[in-house]
Structure 1
Amino acid sequence: MKTLLNAVEQLAVKAGDAIMDIYQSDDFSVEHKADDSPLTRADLAAHHCIVEGLQALQENYPILSEESADIDYEERRQWQRYWLVDPLDGTKEFIKKNGEFTVNIALIDDGKPVLSVVYVPVQKLSYSAAEGVGVFKRDNGQKQSIKVMKNSRYKPTVVGSRSHPSDELKDYLERLGQHELVAMGSSLKFCIVAEGKADLYPRLGPTSEWDTAAAQCIVEQAGGHVVTLEGEPLRYNQKESLLNPHFMVFADTGKNWVGV
């Protein structure tokens, strides 16, 4: 798993470089998909880079990417292990040029993410994790282990979506009481919890499975939890729809975050 994790991290960096070439050129058009979500040349460049790289690995697993998601459930329900990819998570942040976008690559085994990389191209920052290997943050070449903060702050730090706020989140935060809210894009919100800089990420709005899988692995290997509002771990490829239910990301199990 360690060798595979290193290979996937290198692939994520390569995809990030392809994204940055377009990001820095200021020459990218924006299209819209059927669900009205934006699509840029960078999404497609990263997609092709990752798919080609994964297909070249010795581990020959199927690939489900946001940019090639039209695979019938009758086919993918047979998959024990497969790659789940978001080539450019945070396309809206990419378009806004605020740097808060990531490359997400996860290996799913029986519905659970067991190996992943989240790469932040603008910062040259990566988070990587695998069962039996550990969880790491690599910042400009410096690699270190990370872990969640098990005892939440008296005034918890909460991360929330920059581009997708919801009325449900507003109501939840009012019930939560005193807190510090940090708005952030893409799967970075998970990673901030994973390295102990935030206590909670409540997601009470729509996400797809490729948005969350890689970052969920980072959080869980760092000692945190990603659960539905019923308290069950977020699972993958369990149904025809690729939309996630609402969920909570946290470390401190001494507080009932879901029941606030």
Structure 2
Amino acid sequence: MRTDFSTLQQVMESAALTAGRAIMAIHSAGPDVQYKPDSSPVTEADEEAERLILAALIRHFPDIPVVAEEAVAAGRVPDVSGGLFFLVDPLDGTKEFVAGRSEFTVNIALIRAGAPIAGIVLAPALSMGFVATGGRAERFKVAGEAIVERQAIGCRGRGKALTAVASRSHDTPETARFLDDHGIDACTAIGSSLKFCLVAEGLADVYPRFSRTMEWDTAAGDAVLRAAGGETRTLDGEALVYGKRNQAHDADFANPNFIAAGAGWSGGKRP
């Protein structure tokens, strides 16, 4: 299938903005929190946002399967063997959302042959987001119901002082050891897929992840990072791939540990 990136970007942005408005309405009213079998929280905002995104994607791209977090949790898993499919996390950072913080995001990505080729990360409470299509990454602002300002972004080169970003809710001893091994003294803790985006816009050098994520958690942010000149690799140095099924030691669509980094990251350890 030949990808019309202009139409794709318009549909992703419209779907994300619509979902973001629904999320913020529920956020203002106070969400009702429930818990999945894996003890992760889910709210009506997750479910309503996913419904709206799926409706938009199915309407415009009826032949492209959509793997969405809440649908998969309910046992609805489409066939992605064709290699082209969407990954949707309607509300990444639900813990931040429930806690009243602003670092939650709406995430939509298009995967082709295992790689994220387009994606959007919208932070509705921050009135901003990031989008990547056709090998170009942008940061944008939102005013009312529209995107009002766009700015091309790119990863920064490696300098003498390195900055990392890490998960606010999933800190691990392995992360602390990684920072020490690589001589990184500055580390910003932030929720959701915004960690990828901080590296993509040159505000950080590396995002190490040593705790479990699912493909819908990472795909949109990874798309932005790759379009900005960065990369996401597993600990054995291979590019992180999407569409992982029938894994011997983990669930479908579960990611291994990874390092997401800018173009200037060499990975060398502290002498």
Give the TM interval when normalised to the shorter protein: over 0.9
Whether contact under 8 Å (2:211, 2:257) holds in the other structure is yes
Whether contact under 8 Å (2:162, 2:185) holds in the other structure is yes
Q: Deviations over 1:191-211 (max 9, x none)?
A: 000000001100111100100
1:23 is matched with which residue? 27
Partner of 2:85, secondary structure, is: strand
**Paired residue type of 1:139:** K
* Percent of aligned pairs sharing the same letter: 38
**Paired residue type of 2:39:** D
* Number of positions where the alignment pairs a residue of Structure 1 with one of Structure 2: 255
Structure 1: tracts of 5 or more residues without a match: none
2:236 is matched with which residue? 230
2:129 is matched with which residue? 126
Alignment of 1:15-54 (within 5 A): 15-26=19-30, 28-54=31-57
Confirm whether residue 249 of structure 1 aligns to residue 260 of structure 2: yes
Whether contact under 8 Å (2:229, 2:263) holds in the other structure is no
Aligned-partner Cα distance in 2 for 1:258–1:234: 21
Match of 1:135 among 130, 134, 137: 137
Confirm whether residue 56 of structure 1 aligns to residue 49 of structure 2: no
Whether contact under 8 Å (1:83, 1:107) holds in the other structure is yes
Aligned-partner Cα distance in 1 for 2:198–2:159: 14
Aligned-partner Cα distance in 2 for 1:116–1:199: 20
**Paired residue type of 1:92:** K
Match of 2:154 among 139, 147, 170: 147
Aligned-partner Cα distance in 2 for 1:177–1:131: 35
1:259–1:5: structure 2 CA closer, same or farther, 3 Å change rule? farther
Structure 2: tracts of 5 or more residues without a match: 143-147, 247-251
Match of 1:80 among 76, 80, 83: 83
Aligned-partner Cα distance in 2 for 1:191–1:258: 24
Q: Deviations over 1:81-110 (max 9, x none)?
A: 111000000000000111000000001111
Measured after TM superposition, the shift of residue 139 of structure 1 is 1.4
4+ residue runs over 6 A deviation: none
Measured after TM superposition, the shift of residue 59 of structure 1 is 5.2
| TM-score normalised according to structure 1 size | 0.93
Partner of 2:107, secondary structure, is: strand
**Paired residue type of 2:255:** N
Please identify, of 105-114 and 58-67, the stretch whose mean Cα deviation from structure 2 is larger. Answer: 58-67
2:145 is matched with which residue? none
Whether contact under 8 Å (2:181, 2:270) holds in the other structure is no
Aligned-partner Cα distance in 2 for 1:49–1:82: 17
| TM-score normalised according to structure 2 size | 0.89
Partner of 2:126, secondary structure, is: coil
